[in-house]
Amino acid sequence: MRVVFFGTPEWAVPFLEALAASRHEVDAVVTAPDAPVGRSRRPQPPPVKRAAAELGIAPVLQPATLKDRGAREEILRFGSDALVVVAYGRILPGRLLDAPRHGAVNVHFSLLPRHRGASPVQHAILHGDKRTGVTTMLMTRGLDEGPILLQQATTIGERETAGELGARLAVMGAPLLVETLDRLEEGTLLPTPQPPDGVSLAPRLTPDMGRVAWDRPAAEIDRMVRAFDPWPPVVTWGPRGRLRLLEVRPADEPAPEGARPGEVLGRRGDSALVACGGGTVLELARLQPDGGRPMTGAAALAGRHLREGGRLGSGP
């Protein structure tokens, strides 16, 4: 089967590599334009573009928008049998979805219909899901509403972050994509409509979602830190300014009577203890002051980034 591959971030790379090693032919790669990265703000190619170059796949197209008629026609000129979409980051117009003989195959990092949307990995951790997985589906004009082709489930690790889980799902899902294309080509795979029950949404993440509300239970804040690793940063404000929470965990014991949410209770080993909602306690194992290096909670207390008896806030 001849395909055009759409993808941008690191999580999409294993899928392109698996296609390159399969019996299928990649006619072209479509990815996001080069973007400024780091302090230098120099434009850097997205991971999928670098991977295509290493694999010897050409051409690589980087349209600023697929609303442009010329960009769409350039893709359609290949006459590919299917489009393959993995974390491309842009909406595909209906004309592209309808053109290939086998349609557009999307890889979604959840067990649909749960967590439809742009951030399924993060929302699975944020909501405390025990299981997630990878779904291949046929794309329609609705948001991740198309019929399911194949699914593979996995258990979410107790301390797994979104970055770790997404990377693991990518490796797990790459052979599932190849199997999907194999069976579509052979005519042995029938799309199954998504069930109406169990639908949930996983909207795009925003920077403000990383502000800690200390009236929430410790377990919820712990899931937030793991769900938003690596982005958006989970932040709070102490006596010397903003602090990013890097590693936390709920404490076993309840907060002392009268402790207020956000109150710094002291230290235990290398961690600082903070009272949270519902009488729970959160251990701050590692955090990072603005402009500083990561440090332990105990070091933050010693450096007066935290003050015992003081309260952490949700803004400056």
pLDDT in tens, 179-219: 999 999 999 999 999 999 999 999 999 999 999 999 999 99
In a domain, 9, yes or no: yes
| pLDDT above 80 (res 178) | yes
Percent of the chain residues past pLDDT 70, beyond the cut: 100
Do 182 and 211 lie in a common domain? Answer: no
pLDDT of residue 62: 98
Confidence of residue 264 (pLDDT cuts 50, 70, 90): very high
Q: What is the pLDDT of residue 192?
A: 98
Q: What is the pLDDT of residue 56?
A: 98
Domain termination residue (choose one: 138, 156, 186): 186
Whether residue 44 is found in the same domain as residue 179: yes
Banded pLDDT at 40 (limits 50, 70, 90):
confident
Q: What is the pLDDT of residue 316?
A: 81
The CATH number given to whatever domain includes residue 234 is: 3.10.25.10
Q: Are residues 83 and 168 in the same domain?
A: yes
Q: What is the mean pLDDT of residues 147-173?
A: 98
Same domain, yes or no, for 146 and 248? no
Whether the pLDDT of residue 43 is over 80: the answer is yes
Question: Do 109 and 28 contact (CB within 8 A), yes or no?
Answer: no
**Can you tell me which residue has the tokens 């742009």?**
118
Q: Is 202 within the bounds of a domain?
A: no
Taking the C-alpha atoms of residue 224 and residue 217, their distance in angstroms, rounded to an integer, is 11
C-alpha to C-alpha distances, 122 to 33, 97, 208, 293, nearest whole angstrom: 24, 27, 15, 25
pLDDT the model gives residue 255 = 98
Interval 8-36 mean pLDDT: 97
At a CB cut-off of 8 Å and minimum separation 6, what does 312 contact?
Answer: 212, 214, 236, 237, 238, 243, 262, 263, 264, 274, 306
Main-chain dihedrals φ then ψ at residue 282, nearest 5 degrees: -115, 135
Strands 82-86, 2-7: pairing is: parallel
Residue 21 DSSP symbol: T
Q: What was the pLDDT predicted at 38?
A: 77
Q: Is residue 247 part of a domain?
A: yes
Examine the domain organization and report whether 220 and 170 are in the same domain: no
Residues of the domain holding 154: 2-186
Q: What is the CATH number of the domain that holds 85?
A: 3.40.50.170
Residue 316 belongs to some domain of the structure: no
* In a domain? residue 314: no
- Is 194 within the bounds of a domain? no
Are residues 30 and 173 both part of a single domain? yes
Cβ contact 177:22 at 8 Å: no
Q: Beta strands of the chain (E only): which ranges?
A: 2-7, 25-30, 35-37, 42-44, 60-61, 82-86, 104-108, 131-138, 148-155, 235-238, 241-250, 264-268, 271-275, 281-289, 295-296
Closest CA to 27 of 45, 3, 61: 3
Number of separate domains in the chain: 2
294 pLDDT higher than 80: yes
- pLDDT attached to residue 261: 98
Q: Is the residue at 193 inside a domain? A: no
Pair 29, 173 in one domain: yes
List the beta bridge partners of residue 131: 155
Q: How confident is the model at residue 314 (pLDDT cuts 50, 70, 90)?
A: confident
Residue 297 maps to a domain: yes
State the pLDDT at residue 37: 83
Sign of CA dihedral 89, 95, 99, 104: positive
Looking at the structure, do residues 172 and 223 belong to the same domain, yes or no?
no
Average pLDDT value for residue range 117-143: 97
Q: Tell me how far apart the alpha carbons of residues 270 and 299 are, in angstroms, rounded to a whole number.
A: 8
Are 152 and 281 in a shared domain?
A: no
Same domain for 221 and 148?
no
Which band of pLDDT confidence, cut at 50, 70 and 90, is reported for residue 256?
very high
